[in-house]
Structure 1
Amino acid sequence: MRMGKNGSLQIVSQTINSNYSIDSKLSSHIYKARLFQNLPFYLYNENVDQGNGSYTSIANVSLGYNEAKFFGSSRFGFLASSLKNVQNGQGSIVVKGNLVTSGLGSTQQVYNYDGTGGCFFRNVSSSNYTILYDKSGNHCSGRKRHSLGYLFGRWRPFLAI
């Protein structure tokens, strides 16, 4: 966390990364599970003195959830998926004395799931209680899909998001 301007500015930036894996062998079959996660968070908040006893408070926030999963075995093939979700919000209010006199706000969210069995995306944004944009559907990344019969021995590890 960074602070500045005599405490009227705060900035928080953090990212949490995690990596889980399980390997097991049952009889002659190998089973593997992998989970990669990335959770970014950013917050900017500043109070700007407007004079005459008022100030504007400005805030921007962004948070995300990114995940890549792999489950598979040498016997049954594999299932893989990735999820990317980011939300952004911006807002400002004008405060005079102890009263909020006006304010504006907007948000955006992009959600994208891509898995062995299918895919889905949604992109939506709003401003001051009005939806500005909302689009969703089944949109795949274009990579070739593989059935569960895909042989585990040919799988190539994918990078964490």
Structure 2
Amino acid sequence: MEMGKGGDSQRVKQRCNVSDKVSFSGGGPSLRSTNRFSVELYTDSKAGRNNTVLLETRVALGLGNRRFRGAKEVSRLGNLQRARGEMVVQGDLVSGGFGETKQWYNYGGGEEEDGSDKCYFRDVSSKNYTIVHDRQGNKCHK
């Protein structure tokens, strides 16, 4: 965690990596998974025009998971969410601002009857309560 400008600016970055493994005494392939978690937070305030203060915040949350049976990867999941907002404050009143979010989601795992992977992805963004981009599909992005 970093702080600056007398506490008016803050930055936090945290990443966690976790691995686990399950083996069976009767034989068979072991099960293993790896997980990644991340959090980022940034806040700042700046003097604006006409005796206002501009408050800015950015947040990012991430998740990644991969599962293996023996040496073979059997599924994977990725999810990243980002948000950003600014607010203009004059005295005790909010006089303006905006917000936006973006989310990427990708899952792949298992097999369909035809031998292809089961996959799903979605990429969606919004700004000021309006969806500005939304794409989804069933193709794997390896």
Structure 1 length-normalised TM: 0.78
Matched letter for residue 125 of structure 2: S
Partner of 2:25: 25
> 1:53 and 1:7 mapped to 2: Cα distance?
20
For 1:97 and 1:58, the matched residues in 2 are separated by 17
Contact kept, 8 Å, 2:102 with 2:124, in 1: the verdict is: yes
Give how far 1:34 is off.
0.7
Please give the alpha-carbon distance, in whole angstroms, between the structure 2 residues aligned to 1:109 and 1:25.
41
Query: Following TM superposition, by how much is the alpha carbon of 1:30 offset from its aligned partner in structure 2, in angstroms?
Result: 2.2
Residue equivalent to 2:47: 49
Relative distance call for 1:10 and 1:79 in structure 2 (3 A) is closer
User: Aligned Cα RMSD in Å?
Assistant: 1.8
Q: Give the counterpart letter for 2:109 in structure 1.
A: G
Tell whether the 8 Å contact from 1:15 to 1:38 is kept in structure 2 after alignment. yes
Larger Rg: 1
Name the CA shift for 1:128/1:51 in 2 (closer, same or farther; >3 Å): closer
Aligned length: 136
Taking the aligned partners of 2:30 and 2:51, their CA distance within structure 1 comes to 62
Query: Contact (CA 8 Å) 1:62, 1:87: kept in 2 or not?
Result: yes
Give the Å deviation of 1:41. Answer: 1.1
Paired residue for 1:128?
128
Q: In the alignment, residue 87 of structure 1 is paired with which amino acid?
A: Q
Structure 1 runs, 4 residues or longer, greater than 6 Å off: none
Residue in 2 that maps onto 1:158: none
CA contact (8 A) 1:25 1:31 kept: no
Q: What 5-or-longer segments of structure 1 have no aligned partner?
A: 73-77, 143-161
Q: Contact 1:122 / 1:137 at 8 angstroms: preserved in 2?
A: yes
Q: Give the letter for the 2:78 counterpart.
A: K
In structure 2, stretches of 5+ residues that fail to align are 112-117
Greater relative contact order structure (CA < 8 Å, 6+ sep):
1
Give 1:109's aligned amino acid. Q
Instruction: Decide whether the 8 Å contact of 1:79 with 1:116 is kept in 2.
Output: no
